[in-house]
Structure 1
């Protein structure tokens, strides 16, 4: 929500897509999500910049191998820094910029659609039903730990956009 509020262009594009799929006479349903490509891109871009956990679960090599020129002995435990991968300029153009369009047409994990329906549905409902405002600037500074929450909580004010929303 913070990035959507910080980027009115993204909010407008999401709202246009949601309105084109759902209209303004009903609320978003689960069956609508498959037709909302841009909403999915916003979720993916958010998870790229703000992964739920900065380090993936530990992995252990099953045999000796070489990865990126580094020798990894059998039974070595590895920690993968998803947070750093999402900000790596050798992998992403302008990696610190919030740009959901980078995921248009991009392939991904085949299990993501099943796992993200709930998140996409919730986000689409919030953008479809409400106009969001904040007072002042949003500080996106993070606090590191097992997860990476923002240092300061989001305090956003919703204004009902559609009379059909609960």
Structure 2
């Protein structure tokens, strides 16, 4: 069991469903049920900056009929009005920030970002902390599609 207590995804115990290369699928243990695919960066710059845990999530909240919600935990607080840029190949997405998290504003952009995740091989996330430090996190997208599909399957009610 792993506790992702300080994440935007879930503040309860979670269970690993399956690991897929650099990504993993989890389900919450308790109510409401939350399923998510998660990864951590392979490389974070600058190296000499102290940060909390860094995660990228796609989450499904079946009780709220939400699927594929994107959130990023950057490991530091943002200034008011801060932005984060996610780049996958030639696609770029701007996320708004709150506390230590970054989120997609429009649902249609969320779906585009999920598709880019599944099609890409690498992702770069750039942000600026409340202290003014610019950061760059590099993620592998190896296993993304399988992890997202496994999490979604766990949170999809059985038909019939």
TM-score category of the 2 structures, normalised to the smaller one = under 0.3
Q: Answer 1 or 2: higher relative contact order, Cα 8 Å, separation at least 6.
A: 1
Higher strand share goes to which structure? Answer: 2
State the structure with more CA Rg.
1
Q: What is the TM-score of this pair, normalised by structure 1?
A: 0.25
Q: What is the TM-score of this pair, normalised by structure 2?
A: 0.26
